[in-house]
Chain A
Amino acid sequence: MKSFTSAIAIAASIYGAQALAWEATEGRPYEGQTVSVLAVKSSQFEAHEARLAEFEEATGIDVVYDYVPFPNMKEALTTEMVAGGDYDVVSVMDQWVVSLQQLMAPIGPGIEAQGTDLSDFPAAHMRHGMLDGELIGLPVRGHVQLLFYRTDLLEAAGVTPPKTWEEMVTAAKAIQDSSDAAGIALPYGKLNGQNLMVWMNLLWGNGGDLFDADGNAAFNSAAGVAATETYVGYLAEEIVPAGSAVFIEQDAVTSFKQGNSAMLPVWWWVRSQLTDPKQSTLTEDQVGFTALPSVAGADRTTFTNTWIFGVTEQSDSKDAATEFLGWLTDPALERDVLMDPDLTEVVAVHMSNLTDAEVNERWGGMHQAAADALATADGVEFGDNWPRIVLILETAISSLASGEETDVQAALDKAAEDIAAIR
């Protein structure tokens, strides 16, 4: 489950080359063609769209972006897969890639021809662009988890940023004793598996995993029960805000931004929201970050999230679309967005940018922290039943959090049974 796939290494060696800046294909062979892009709503992708003139001028290809909000994105992609033909390039989240495989076309030869350096992508992100040994997409947006914290509240409570989950509980209680804020904001509600993201780290930290080598459920093991009891136990310890049992990720983020919580384990991209005066009460010097805590004695872990861009099977302009992908995944474009003083975009998926000194100087070392986390993060193998598995698991966590279920072992066993019964 957590091992690197050899396919990625093979692909990297096949397609690998020196990290070169993107260059348009000579002779503008796709001039006059239009590439339609279906992307999830994101300021990062809007920043790419704002820089399209360079690509369009170099290639003669017109690019048109359509955006869909995240909650509706999977339905939009499903419709495109079934009814199809409207888009040439689509953005797909890692967890959906296998179940949406009918949508994506192989792009290996086209990307190889452009000299894209696949080895510059962290393996945890890159693995989601591979399907059965074939390259079907390239990472453009990728996240690791970090622990954001209120520097002022931790200082007032006399605690340092926690390195382990056990330290986190102690810190949270100390903060609650010295302020009105809840210790930590966590999501327990149901939405696209958001209540599993921190829980998975506890599962790994306790030595457990979702499935064993034969693909059977392993999350209901003693390690899984311990991880779940710890995660749900934070509610009983009252170190999370009231109502957390139905918090989705955005509720937890809002609680932190409104000053109601002191710590927030979440995707790093959220950083740009946390001190945005239009949506947050916090200032730059109030927000700090550190790596996600680990279980005492265990290695640090992070769940990763990756958005790949791929060319659709039904596209009439596959070559032009592949040329666009080459431009879109150019590290120079990503760096340009990261360093744009008018933007607060932190997301990067190229190791060359994650370890770039200037990038790290601008963002306080956040990218190096992400690179460190990615070095040991393998990502999860998502099968075609993953969306259903997520629904079953997030329902189990939600039931335990709300008190609808009280027996952790029984709830996890029931989830394991439901997963085994999937047709």
Chain B
Amino acid sequence: MQDRLLSYWLLVPAFIIVLATTIYPLAYSFITSFRAWDLTESRSPQGFVGFDNYFYAASESAFLNSLWVTFIFVIASVTLTVVLAMALALLLRRKGPMHTFTRIILILPFAMSPALIGVSYRFMFNPEFGVLAKGLGAMFPSLQGVPWLADPDLAMGILVLTDVWHWTPYMTFMCLGGLASVPKETQEAARIDGASNLRIIFGIILPQMRGVILVMAVLKTIFALKMFDQVVTLTGGGPGTSTETLAYFIFNVGFRWFDMGYASALAWILTAIMMFISIWYVRMLLSDRKIATA
């Protein structure tokens, strides 16, 4: 009995920290999302306005644009990251000095700060002195002087590129972990039966990696939905509003427009989207397990 009581007491500090740093801000922002709060008028939240902030979002073109931009970004970023990570993991699964060395240096992009990645790529794609802009121009003369970040489609492409570059190493390591759990005997048996490498990958490895790939996809989707740092330092949401993601739009509403009530409502819309996707993925995972155990 005493041991049980002690265990509860030991949990108290962690509980207080979670309460103060997560639960309280979440609850506060949820309540704020139903209030008016113009920071230019008041330092504290003003009156309750019901669902006004949510209704306003549904009719505002800037919000709807940011939702569309985020959708495009998430689809491109998640698909490319998962596919590339899987391909790299298949290349690196063998053991050898070169493979080990490659695995070590592969983690470097993930170790970099996203804001720094944005700044670096902004410099590298500067048409006047950017190393990538100059290099591409030297290799392909038709690309000389291309204003990479000035074109809405290219800017989105480069934003996706920076995110894929950042996340692929981490996802590759997740894939390598998953690959280690795929029984080698099955692959050997298939090989003896004359199956090609592609057949083994698509017929044996990928089906058994489905759980890992789903986890990768849900993680990457959640992080992609929150894309903010590179938008700030690489494109500033531009040109125009072509790379203005939802997280960046929420930041603008809160810290530039000073409309904290509306910003809170938008933040909860983003949270709801992430919760919906997470629940959907978990349900898929659980249904997978049921099939596996049936």
B128 touches A241 (CB 8 A): yes
Q: If the complex has contacts A190-B236, A387-B256, are A242 and B147 also in contact, measured as CB distance less than 8 A? A: yes
B40-A98 in contact (CB<8A): yes
For the complex, give the distance between the alpha carbons of A404 and B39 in Å.
33
Q: Kindly name the residue among B147, B242, B257 whose own CB sees the greatest number of chain A CB atoms within 10 A.
A: B147
- A306 close to B (CB within 8 Å): no
Q: Is B240 an interface residue (CB 8 A)?
A: yes
- Count of B residues near A, CB < 8 Å? 36
Tell me the bound Cα distance from A78 to B37 in angstroms: 13
Of the candidates A190, A246, A403, A423, the one having the most CB atoms from chain B within 10 angstroms of its own CB is: A246
Q: How far is the CA of A255 from the CA of B129 in the complex (A)?
A: 9
On whether the beta carbons of B239 and A402 are closer than 8 Å, the reply is: yes
CB of B196 to closest CB in A, whole Å: 47
Whether A74 contacts B151 in the complex (CB less than 8 A), given A102-B43, A246-B239, comes out as no
Does B157 sit within 8 A of A, measured CB to CB?
Answer: no
Contact string, A288-299, partner B, CB cutoff 8 A, digits 1/0? 000000000000
Determine whether B223 belongs to the interface, using a CB cutoff of 8 Å to chain A: no
B175 to chain A, nearest CB (A): 35
Closest to A390 in B: B256
CA distance A318 to B145 in the complex (A): 55
Contact of B152 among A99, A251, A388, A404 (CB under 8 A): A404
Q: How many residues of A contact B (CB 8 A)?
A: 39
Say whether A260 contacts B128, CB under 8 Å.
yes
A78 vs B241: C-alpha distance when bound (angstroms): 24
A78, A98, A245: the one contacting B150 at CB < 8 Å is A245
The answer, yes or no, to whether B8 is at the interface (CB within 8 Å) is: no
State the CA gap A388–B255 with chains docked (Å): 10
Q: Which of B209-238 contact A (CB under 8 A)?
A: 235-238
Distance of A403 Cα from B152 Cα, bound (Å): 8
Residue of B148, B152, B238, B255 touching A78 (CB-CB under 8 A): B255
Give the chain B neighbours of A260 by CB distance below 8 A: 128-129
| A-B CB contact pairs (8 Å), 22 listed | A74-B256, A78-B258, A101-B40, A102-B40, A102-B43, A243-B148, A245-B150, A246-B150, A246-B238, A248-B236, A251-B126, A384-B258, A387-B257, A395-B241, A399-B240, A402-B150, A402-B151, A403-B152, A404-B239, A404-B242, A405-B240, A418-B61
